[in-house]
Each structure stands twice: as C-alpha cells, then as structure tokens.
Structure 1
Amino acid sequence: MSRNYLGESEMRDYFSLFDTKGDGKIAKGDFGTVSRSLGANPTNKEISTLTSNSGKDRLSFEDFYPMWQSVIKMEEERADTYGQDKIVSGFRAFDREGNGQITISDVQNILEKLGERLSGEESGAILGQFVDSEGRIEYEKMVNTILNDDSRP
C-alpha cells in the first residue's frame, strides 16, 4: 500500500519553504511539522526517535531526507498492519466459538458470495493449505500468510 509523495527535487523545494534563517536548514523541532505538512502522520514518539539520532539543532536536507524516508516506511507498515487488522476483524465476525478459527465452509461461503464470486473448487484450491484435519482455518494466520507472501506480483 503505497501513497504518492513528492520526489526528491520537489522535496528540496518544499523543504526550503521551512528554512526560516536562509541557511538551507530547518529547526530539528520542525521535523514533525514538515513531515505532517507533506502528508505523513508520524507519532510524536516516532519523531522523537528519528530526531534524537541527530546531534544537531538544525537539519540540512541531507539530514532530513533519510529521516523522511523512515517516516514513509513507518506509514506504509502502519497502513499494511491496519488493513490486515480490518480483514482479520471481518473474519472474526464468523468466529462463533471465539477461538481464532472458522470453518472452511464459512470462508468458502464468504468467497463465493462476495467479490469475484469464486466457485467451491476455486475457493477450495486457495484455502486448502490453511485447512486443518477438522475442516477449520486459523483465519489470522491465513490472512497474515496471504498478505505477506513475497512471491505475489
């Protein structure tokens, strides 16, 4: 899940808008403000962690840009996790026993009725690797495996 952010040259131009002293730098304390104005939403703790590694009071673009890239990475990881949590919560609604498992027939029913309308054979082929001997699926493990499969295009 990737958002569109400015390229490096555009970032330099934007960065210069926050250079109040005309020295090609911004105050270290403005890092969060600049990041947020660029569309990210880092936490205060993340900002503190990133800026504490710099012993400088003012940040050049060369100091700022790697920290900005770290903010983007944290944003993407957070978005991925949040999306995964929403999917798991959706499956949890079908977890009648509250044990982290649902039946394959429940999952097949969901897949066959929503989205691309998979047949029983198609959904069975997809879900086969996640079904235990009792016909149940640990849905959180399944979602995690599917969403974190590095072999996907």
Structure 2
Amino acid sequence: MSRNYLGESEMRDYFSLFDTRGDNKIAKEEFGNVARALGANPTNREIQTLISGTSNERLSFEDFYPMWQSVIKMEEERSQKNDQDKIVAGFRAFDREGNGLITLSDVQGILEKLGEKLSSEECAAILDKYVDGEGKIEYEKMVNTILNDDSR
C-alpha cells in the first residue's frame, strides 16, 4: 500500500522551486503546495496542524523534511483506513441480518467466489479465533484485527 515518493535529491529540487528569496527556505504557508508538488495530498487541517508547530516563518529543507514525513505517515494511515472500510463494506453485503455478523460458511463462500477453494476444515482453522459460540464472525472486528496485526 505504500506509495513511491521522490528521493531526497529530487525533493530538494522541488523544494527550491518554492524558494522565492534565494535563502534555501520556503514560506511556511507554502508547505502544503510543496507537499502536493511532491505527490502527497494532505488535508488543509493536516497542513495547519503541522505548520502551527513551528514558530519559523520560513522553513529550511531540514525543517520541512520531518513535516513531510508526518504527511506521508498520515496518508498511509488514511489509505489503510480506506482499504479497511472497503473490505468491511464487502462483508456487509453478506450480512443478511444487518447485525455485523456473518457465518463461517458465508466467509467460505466469499473465498470460493474469489477463487480460494478451501475445505470447511481449512476455513475453520484459519478463522477459528474469530468465530463466536454460535458460529458467527464479527467481520468488522476480524478485518481490523487482521489488517492491524504487526506480526505478519
């Protein structure tokens, strides 16, 4: 899910395009424009939060770079959340009762439709920790756990 961004040398080149005084700095109000020119898409709120953290009116590349890294981290988190929402919406389509639960056989059917031919035993072995006493899976919790499992 990680995007490819420019290397530091190329970033410095873009950064210098916004240096209107020739002092190797940009106006802090230009932070969002530079970030967007470098391929990021921070929200105005994110930009304001980041630039309010500095008292400097002009930012050197060394001031800019940690702020840039924060933008990238926020974008990656937002992207993961969007992916998670899409997966949950997919499971929701199989939630007949609209209660946030689907059966193990529903998941097995979904996997088969996606081309994964698993036996009932294989499916149960993979998803056993997500199945409650009634054979139901709280799919939003399962997706959240799987996508946020750092041990993968």
TM-score by length of 2: 0.95
Residue 102 of structure 1 aligns to a residue in which SS? strand
Matched, 1:63 2:69: no
Equivalent position of 1:42 in the other structure: 42
Equivalent position of 2:3 in the other structure: 3
Structure 1, unaligned runs of 5 or more: none
Distance 2:135 2:56 in 1: 59
Distance 2:121 2:52 in 1: 55
Letter in 2 for 1:108: Q
Equivalent position of 2:86 in the other structure: 86
Taking a change above 3 Å as real, the CA distance of residues 11 and 115 of structure 1, as seen in their structure-2 partners, is farther
% same residue = 78
For the 8 Å contact 1:112–1:120, the answer to whether it is kept is no
Aligned residues: 152
Supply the RMSD in Å over aligned alpha carbons.
Answer: 1.1
For the 8 Å contact 1:100–1:139, the answer to whether it is kept is yes
Distance 2:23 2:119 in 1: 64
Matched, 1:127 2:122: no
Letter in 1 for 2:94: F
Structure 2, unaligned runs of 5 or more: none
For the 8 Å contact 1:101–1:137, the answer to whether it is kept is yes
User: Residues 4-57 of structure 1, C-alpha deviation per residue, up to 9 Å, x if partnerless?
Assistant: 011222211221111111110011111111111111110000000000011111
Which runs of at least 4 in structure 1 moved beyond 4 Å after TM superposition? none
1:151: how far off?
1.1
1:120: how far off?
2.5
Distance 1:37 1:115 in 2: 40
Distance 1:118 1:148 in 2: 24
Distance 1:120 1:102 in 2: 15
For the 8 Å contact 2:14–2:37, the answer to whether it is kept is no
